[in-house]
Amino acid sequence: LTGLMLNGLKVRGCAYNYVFDWTLVCISKEPQDSTDDGEEPSEKPRAAEAKAAATMTMEEWKKLQAGMAEVWPAPSYMALPMPGRSHTNYRDETYEFITRWMAETKISYRPHAKSPGSKSHLRYEKYSKAQTVGEALQLGSWPCDWCWDYERGFIKVEGPVRSEPIDIVQCTEEQTLTEVDRVIYRWYNKELAKNLGLDYRDLFGTSDPSILRAHRLVAQREARRRLEAAEKEGRRISDEDVLATLKEWAFVKNSARGNVIPEGHGWVWSDTIGLIRDRLGSIHATPATKLYPEVVQLLVKWLNDRIPQEASGFRFTSINLNCNYAARLHRDGNNFGPSLIRAFGDFTGGRLKYFPEDDKGMDLENLPEAKSVQLDIGSGPEGGLALFNGNSAHSVEAFEGTRYSIVYFTLGCHDRAEQEDRAFLESLGVSFPSPTEERYTFL
């Protein structure tokens, strides 16, 4: 069984509002023996009965198949080898596409695609008359049938389809949910929970959409395991521990960071954990910090385990997590003191471009290139942690590959945090500056 949808592979034109390294696998049985939840029905037609009820002979069926494979080809991605995956395990692209179908999505079925005498022939002959997904559901096919048939080229889709999968939690009262919406949502969440080893009920009850929630629960579970392993083995949290956690984490589309979003884009994959000041002026720990504390603890411990002696007094209240974008030239709003940054992943390029002498007295576009420095913050022999003033101009160079970055910084208004939030963050290893600490001690 293999992981699905490598983070970064789907960033350009991604169908989801969040990105992660998929570990979802499907172990469904062949759909002709399945219900909407992938369970076998209590009664199955016997092979002899199915053969007797066939609508045509095998000879007639074989004649009808002439030229059909060329007219009804399987999706091109099905030609790609998937080691360790059986033909009854569905591909990530299939999940991505079918979870966007709607009741009114127009479809057409390949005529007589399944051989007479098989258990699926009679069902297929019935539901293949459907012209929309809604009709297909009414005629007795289910999402697992759609996956099976689509991967074999038995279904052509004309549209329309959703730009993103249905998320019932985010729907408003004005939006009318169809039975197709409910069936796809229920089926996919059950598949997700089952194959990620989660309790289905844990996917709900927070503001996180269920797909986002599922993968963050995996990140939380695995971060806990890595913390326990490091303690048992008496070692530091490794770069590999951090990278694995970042791959498991589900990043959201963040359109609020207007100062870093590259030209021509409307959002970036970016999250902040720890302390934050929201648009209403409230200063608090982010919801994700409280929902997934071991993820925070692992990232904090990684830094605390290896912070250089010359920066041993570095303090921070917040952590910015970034995935697969090159921040344009910008200045942070009002950080208190310096920031520490490090990048992870398999990439080339992506150095931090930094103007250490920038005092905000000049427009960004007029800053002289000669005054900039390029800092390698990757995991190679020349890379490492970089200490810099986030309030001075900085950007990220173009890169190729999959790149994550972590920025540790202190919120300018950290001294107004609620004591409860401060105590919670400190319990995770976050170290707030003292009330008398100078803003630029290390700069």
Mean of the per-residue pLDDT values of the chain: 86
Alpha carbon 43 to chain centroid, angstroms: 39
User: Exposure pattern of 263-279 as b/e (b: 16+ CB <10 Å)?
Assistant: eeeeebbbbbbbbbbee
pLDDT, residue 197, reads 93
Residues of the chain with pLDDT under 70: 1-55, 86-88, 169-175, 442-443
Give dist(CA 303, CA 406) in Å, integer: 10
pLDDT, residue 341, reads 97
Task: Using DSSP, state whether 423 is helix, strand or coil.
Answer: helix
H helices within 284-355, ranges in order? 287-291, 293-306
Q: At what angle do helices 143-151 and 179-196 cross, to 10 degrees?
A: 80
pLDDT, residue 367, reads 94
Give dist(CA 319, CA 292) in Å, integer: 14
pLDDT, residue 384, reads 92
Give DSSP secondary structure letters for 233-272.
HT-PPPHHHHHHHHHHS-EEEE-S-TTTSPTT-S-EEEEE
From residue 146, give the alpha-carbon distance in Å to each of 12, 42, 100.
26, 21, 12
pLDDT, residue 175, reads 65
Q: 302-353, pLDDT tens digit by residue?
A: 999 999 888 888 999 999 999 999 999 999 987 898 999 999 999 999 999 9
Task: Using DSSP, state whether 208 is helix, strand or coil.
Answer: coil
Q: 103-130, pLDDT tens digit by residue?
A: 999 999 999 999 988 778 889 999 999 9
Residues whose CB is less than 8 angstroms from the CB of residue 310 and which lie 6 or more positions away in sequence, other chains included: none
pLDDT, residue 47, reads 59
Say if strands 339-344 and 106-109 run parallel, antiparallel, or are unpaired. Answer: unpaired
H helices within 170-309, ranges in order? 179-196, 210-233, 239-248, 287-291, 293-306
Give dist(CA 199, CA 193) in Å, integer: 6
Please name which of 154, 155, 294, 169 lies closest in space to residue 223, comparing C-alpha atoms. 294
Top-tier CATH class for 236-427: mainly beta
Task: Using DSSP, state whether 388 is helix, strand or coil.
Answer: strand
Specify the domain boundaries for CATH 2.60.120.590 within the chain. 236-427
